[in-house]
């Protein structure tokens, strides 16, 4: 398992139910939880299966490097990873594949960009082309703010590491859904739909983040809806990948906008979502290893995956996240294993940004610090457990949303 966040902690924990797992590099919370973490790079390790967690490694071509060594890998090569690495490429791909998506324009030039913006109606959506940890997208009703954002992205004043090309899009309304589609180069298998909460504050206020919480299954997505998504979005995508000679073995993460008028694809990512993995993976019991091995080996045909129950995860983030997180705070409420000092049944803590100080205490070391996951028979029960668990953990300035999965759990009553 390659990576060091809460997503990788959840994946490694689930894989360890049926395999010996080594994580590179992992984090302090995984080690405490009994997972073997090493600093050796993946290219110098031997394993039956390599699973790559973070987008940057996939986009940088780690899967190609490992496959060139004869290894079995979950994660597309750099060719398939362009779906996430460049939003301009992704939009062009979707158009070629005939996948429904927001109308858009791609710009390097301010005059043309602002002229296009003037033709759009609010909400305005401005995206930086390259990887920006989920933070490179502005959605606003304020034309002046949109104009400033276009200027800053084009000039490199904002997100210059992700390039200075911008994508301006039609604003879509509806419910967002994250659907992880396992692909083995030919066949595909959808995992249970999940919902992520991207804005930092309650009621979707404040800036976009990497994700402040999630739940699964998303009951609002009926099996007819999923069938429609497979027909209109997944199948055309697989055909277009084939047509371009891209052998896509990994997770194709469809970020969807669902409205009564239909479903449109907001974006593709080329790996599991974080924090969605922390609620999807636990629903498959000890079945994850077999599924992912089939992905890597191109043997997905005939595989089935039946999820059980529901999960909710609440992210505890550092003060100042996402703009300028303040780290180095001692975390209270965790035991030596990095789990709740006072254990609660069906609550698991996945570590994102933690390390240990000289006294062995866990301290914060990143924007997102912990993902507290509750499991239950339904979303309401899972939510109660997640929040009960989260209430037992504290550090100075900790930020959390109080409304993760609230509407979904009310909808079950």
Q: By CB under 6 A, which span of 52-60, 166-174, 218-226, 394-402 interacts with ligand AMP? A: 166-174
Rounded to whole angstroms, the Cα distance separating 234 from 183 reads 10
364 binds, among ligand AMP, ligand GLY, none (CB under 5 to 8 A by kind): none
381 binds ligand AMP (CB under 6 A): no
Backbone φ, ψ for residue 109 (5° rounding): -120, 130
Q: Nearest CA to 294 among 182, 369, 181?
A: 182
Q: By CB under 6 A, which span of 13-21, 133-141, 228-236, 296-304 interacts with ligand AMP? A: 133-141
Which residue number, 125 or 349, has a Cβ lying nearer to ligand AMP? 125
Q: How many CA atoms lie within 13 A of 322 on its CB side?
A: 19
Rounded to whole angstroms, the Cα distance separating 104 from 357 reads 48
Q: By CB under 6 A, which span of 123-131, 181-189, 243-251, 271-279 interacts with ligand GLY? A: 271-279
Nearest distance in Å: CB 122, ligand GLY: 24
Judged by CB under 6 A, the chain residues 241 through 280 that form the site for ligand AMP are: 255, 266-267
Query: Taking the CB of residue 291, how many other CB atoms lie within 10 A of it?
Result: 17
Q: By CB under 6 A, which span of 40-48, 169-177, 354-362, 391-399 interacts with ligand AMP? A: 169-177
| Angle, CA of 187, 189 and 193, to the nearest 5° | 150
Nearest distance in Å: CB 278, ligand GLY: 10
Indicate which single residue of 129, 149, 152, 276 sits in contact with ligand GLY (rule: CB under 6 A): 276
Non-local CB neighbours of 261 within 8 Å, separated by 6+ positions:
none
Tokens of 77: 């090569």
Dihedral (CA of 292, 84, 10, 374) sign: negative
Backbone φ, ψ for residue 80 (5° rounding): -70, -30
Rounded to whole angstroms, the Cα distance separating 126 from 142 reads 12
Residues 88-107, mask of contacts with ligand AMP (x by CB under 6 A): --------------x-----
172 binds, among ligand AMP, ligand GLY, none (CB under 5 to 8 A by kind): ligand AMP
- Given phi > 0 = left and psi -120 to 50 = alpha, else beta, which region is 129? alpha
Non-local CB neighbours of 247 within 8 Å, separated by 6+ positions:
77, 80, 185
208 binds ligand AMP (CB under 6 A): yes
Nearest distance in Å: CB 119, ligand GLY: 29
211 binds, among ligand AMP, ligand GLY, none (CB under 5 to 8 A by kind): ligand GLY
Nearest distance in Å: CB 132, ligand AMP: 8
139 binds ligand AMP (CB under 6 A): yes
> Where are the strands (E) in 187-295, listed by range?
188-190, 195-196, 199-201, 205-208, 213-216, 249-259, 262-269
Which residue number, 168 or 300, has a Cβ lying nearer to ligand AMP? 168
Nearest distance in Å: CB 267, ligand AMP: 4
Judged by CB under 6 A, the chain residues 202 through 231 that form the site for ligand GLY are: 211
Q: Which helix (H) or strand (E) holds 25?
A: strand 22-25
Query: Taking the CB of residue 26, how many other CB atoms lie within 10 A of it?
Result: 25
Q: Nearest CA to 100 among 268, 246, 266?
A: 266
267 binds, among ligand AMP, ligand GLY, none (CB under 5 to 8 A by kind): ligand AMP
Tokens of 184: 């083995």
Q: By CB under 6 A, which span of 35-43, 164-172, 304-312, 394-402 interacts with ligand AMP? A: 164-172
Q: By CB under 6 A, which span of 168-176, 271-279, 288-296, 353-361 interacts with ligand AMP? A: 168-176
Backbone φ, ψ for residue 134 (5° rounding): 75, 5
Residues 250-269, mask of contacts with ligand GLY (x by CB under 6 A): -------------------x
Rounded to whole angstroms, the Cα distance separating 136 from 257 reads 18
134 binds ligand GLY (CB under 6 A): yes
Query: Could you list the residues that contact ligand GLY (CB under 6 A)?
Result: 134, 196, 211, 269, 273-274, 276
Query: Could you list the residues that contact ligand AMP (CB under 6 A)?
Result: 102, 125, 127, 134, 137, 139, 169-172, 176, 198, 208, 255, 266-267
């Amino acid at each position: 398992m390659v990576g060091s966040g809460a997503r990788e902690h959840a994946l490694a924990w689930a894989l360890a139910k049926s395999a010996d797992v080594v994580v590179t590099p992992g984090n302090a919370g995984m080690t405490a939880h009994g997972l073997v973490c090493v600093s050796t790079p993946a290219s110098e390790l031997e394993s039956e299966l390599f699973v790559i967690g973070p987008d940057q490694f996939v986009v940088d071509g780690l899967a190609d490097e490992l496959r060139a060594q004869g290894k079995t890998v979950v994660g597309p090569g750099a060719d398939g990873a362009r779906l996430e690495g460049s939003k301009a490429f992704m939009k062009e791909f979707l158009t070629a594949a005939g996948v429904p998506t927001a109308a858009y324009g791609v710009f390097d030039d301010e005059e043309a960009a602002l002229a296009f913006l003037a033709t759009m109606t609010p909400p305005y959506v401005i995206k930086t082309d390259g990887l920006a940890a989920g933070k490179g997208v502005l959605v606003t009703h304020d034309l002046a703010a949109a104009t400033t954002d276009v200027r800053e992205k084009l000039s490199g004043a904002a997100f210059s590491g992700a390039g200075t090309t911008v994508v301006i899009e039609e604003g879509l309304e509806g419910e967002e859904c994250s659907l992880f589609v396992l692909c083995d180069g030919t066949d595909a298998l959808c995992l249970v739909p999940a919902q992520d909460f991207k804005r930092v504050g309650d009621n979707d206020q404040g800036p976009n983040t990497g994700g402040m919480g999630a739940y699964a299954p998303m009951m609002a997505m009926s099996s007819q809806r999923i069938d429609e998504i497979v027909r209109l979005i997944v199948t055309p995508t697989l055909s277009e990948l084939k047509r371009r000679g891209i052998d896509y073995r990994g997770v194709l993460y469809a970020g969807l906008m669902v409205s009564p008028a239909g479903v449109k694809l907001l974006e593709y990512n080329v790996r599991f979502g974080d924090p969605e993995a922390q609620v999807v993976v636990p629903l498959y019991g000890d079945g994850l290893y077999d599924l992912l091995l089939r992905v890597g080996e191109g043997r997905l045909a005939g595989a089935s995956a039946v999820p059980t129950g529901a999960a909710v995860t609440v992210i505890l983030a550092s003060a100042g996240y996402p703009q300028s997180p303040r780290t180095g705070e001692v975390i209270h409420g965790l035991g030596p294993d990095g789990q709740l000092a006072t254990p609660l049944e069906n609550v698991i803590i996945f570590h994102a940004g933690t390390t240990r100080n000289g006294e062995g205490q866990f301290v914060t070391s990143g924007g997102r610090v912990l993902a507290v996951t509750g499991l239950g028979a339904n979303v309401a029960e899972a939510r109660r457990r997640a929040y009960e668990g989260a209430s037992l953990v504290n550090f100075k300035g900790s930020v959390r949303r109080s409304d993760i999965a609230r509407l979904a759990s009310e909808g079950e009553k």
